[in-house]
Amino acid sequence: MTSPAEVQSWIENYVLAWTSAERADIEALFTVDAEYHERPYETDWIGRDEIVEGWLSRQDWQEGGWAFTSSILMITGDTAAVRGTGIYDRLGTFENLWVVTFDADGVCTDFRMWNNEIV
């Protein structure tokens, strides 16, 4: 079973990786065969290498500054639901829901995100 402390640590490492854009930081979040799905966008990155490349292709989103807040909504077994808000100076504000499934070591095997732009 995944604990709130483990999920919170993973979220903090996610934000660190998004900030650093360092390949090793991103890789540490996901298993080799992890899946990353984002809706309503048609983002389906399968495998850690594809996830890393996808993340790195979005680094211009951070230009001008950004902030992120989150809260854990629930944890069931190895899966957590997280509410997040990303505020990007250039792109706007996005409310999102993450459903994250972890392996026994606390590394993400499946990441699903629903984005809603706040206008």
The model's pLDDT over 45-92, given as tens digits with 9 standing for 90+, comes to 999 999 999 989 878 777 778 899 999 999 999 999 999 999 988 888
Q: Structure pTM?
A: 0.91
pLDDT at 95 over 70: yes
Please enumerate in sequence order all residues whose Cβ is within 8 A of that of 24, keeping only pairs 6 or more positions apart, or say none.
none
CB 1 within 8 A of CB 104: no
The model's pLDDT over 15-54, given as tens digits with 9 standing for 90+, comes to 999 889 899 999 999 999 999 999 888 889 999 999 999 9
Total domain count for the chain?
A: 1
Domain limits for position 19: 4-118
CATH code, domain carrying 14:
3.10.450.50
Phi-psi sector, 77: left (phi>0), alpha (psi -120 to 50), beta: left
